[in-house]
Structure 1
């Protein structure tokens, strides 16, 4: 394989900079995060699918979020865990596989937007072969080009700012209305439930908002690459693990069904002597 073919078909993924001594610890941490995310999200989908009492539009909407989280996490973590155990010089990926990963990394966010973004990126010729990220995404792909990428940068920044502003304003208006209702309501139980639910929702939202915004903007500042990598990992790992707890177990019907399933499992695993 000549050098020009190598540059255009095989890419080197920079990945996480971990020492050989800490690579297994990082691998185990990522494996636990992936296992918890898969078990909790798949469990939520199975519970909603098998329980007829949960076959309502609201609960079917809850199934969409776990599916998105499963896709978004699966296209990143297995490959990332493999790279953690590999030497830095052996973290190769084909250009085609990198494009597919970049698409599926973003498809669960806003698919149409990233189809356009990837279209703007794929049109560029490549003169570099290093992905400066733990995984492939659109910003890392257009950094492979030596051409003028101002269109990509401008479009990406404008779209990101617009989405973040719209999201923040929508959340602010929603919480103001909820706070107004709680203030005028004299139902202490309802107010307590609203505060508990909203606080957990807001915590997950802030994690996504801050890490997502930081990840996008720090792509323009190479000197902060390690901070950007940390934010990108948190953005794609923490919310998918917390979403089943926030949106699933805080829903009364799902929580009751889940408690019932746990009760059955505990009874089945009780020693025979205890039952007698």
Structure 2
């Protein structure tokens, strides 16, 4: 094999693609439709939020960051996936593979940070409504969004640097896209440093975010049970889309853990591919509809833009 800097392979081969004949064109059309819908709905929400000053509030600014991230993650997956579906040779050059890993893992991490920030925002809005505008200032919102992007990017750069330095003895990735853990498993030597770094980041950072989300919703539920009917209605109307997005996110994470960490060799290949793609396709597909349908301001403005009526 050719030598490429710190790795022994110059390209990787995807082992999860199967020859389905003409059915690949149907798969291509389905994935293309998913991508078009994701781009259209997320761009629509971004335009609506940016062009309407009445939506320049913390909740909608966080939503805008969420939509930008979903466009980023989808663009890191779908064009690559569409090419691979139609191709007869499912290989990718190593630099492009690591670039895709950077995009997809950054997307997943930023998504979690954004959802945690949105949970904190809803907690302040419902539990401390009188101090909300002071507590959630524009500077604080900007800082939270910046942190939601900066820390994941730095983490993924370190993670990819550790993976790229490994000496690999194989080149087959048992996925339909590039996956960091799949490459780490190809290492000829000890991967303790990679494993320790991954565990430290998971338990120190991601576990802390999970605690923030859990604490925020415990406090919100307490206020709902003890508060007035108006307070409960406000909590339900503003928290429903976010809570649905969180549940969908955790379902995707659960499927990803099953696919990555458990032995799925006996499972049908289509089921394995579905589990691995669920998080990257259904999250950006699901969120714009959930927020667009449940947040009244956005729903009214979207209808006026699309149908030309109020």
The two structures have a TM-score, normalised by structure 2, of 0.73
Map 1:87-102 to 2 at 5 A. Answer: 87=88, 90-102=89-101
Residues 116 and 67 (structure 1), Cα distance of their counterparts in 2 relative to 1, 3 Å cut: same
| Distance across 2 between alignment mates of 1:172 and 1:153 | 26
- Cα RMSD (Å) of the superposition? 2.7
Retained in 1: the 8 A contact 2:241–2:294?
A: no
Give the aligned partner of residue 206 of structure 1.
247
Residues 198 and 47 (structure 1), Cα distance of their counterparts in 2 relative to 1, 3 Å cut: closer
| Distance across 2 between alignment mates of 1:92 and 1:140 | 15
**Please, which moves more after superposition, 215-224 or 139-148?**
215-224
| Distance across 2 between alignment mates of 1:127 and 1:94 | 16
Retained in 1: the 8 A contact 2:72–2:103?
A: yes
Q: 2:284 aligns with which of 240, 246, 255?
A: 240
Structure 2: segments with no counterpart, 5+ residues? 110-151
Structure 1: segments with no counterpart, 5+ residues? 267-276
**Please, which moves more after superposition, 147-156 or 6-15?**
6-15
Q: Is 1:26 aligned with 2:27?
A: yes
Whichever of the two has the greater Rg, that structure is: 1
Q: Is 1:194 aligned with 2:193?
A: no
| Distance across 2 between alignment mates of 1:56 and 1:198 | 15
Q: Is 1:145 aligned with 2:187?
A: yes
Deviations 1:182-219 (A, max 9, x none): 2222325x524533543443332122223224424642
| Distance across 1 between alignment mates of 2:205 and 2:255 | 14
Give the aligned partner of residue 122 of structure 1.
164
Map 1:15-164 to 2 at 5 A. Answer: 15-17=16-18, 19-87=20-88, 90-108=89-107, 109=109, 110-163=152-205
Deviations 1:90-144 (A, max 9, x none): 0121111111111111123222221111111111122212222211122122233
SS of residue in 2 equivalent to 1:12: strand
| Distance across 1 between alignment mates of 2:242 and 2:222 | 18
- CA shift for structure 1 position 163: 4.8
Q: Is 1:183 aligned with 2:184?
A: no
Q: Is 1:250 aligned with 2:249?
A: no
Give the aligned partner of residue 272 of structure 1.
none
Retained in 1: the 8 A contact 2:17–2:90?
A: no
Retained in 1: the 8 A contact 2:241–2:290?
A: yes
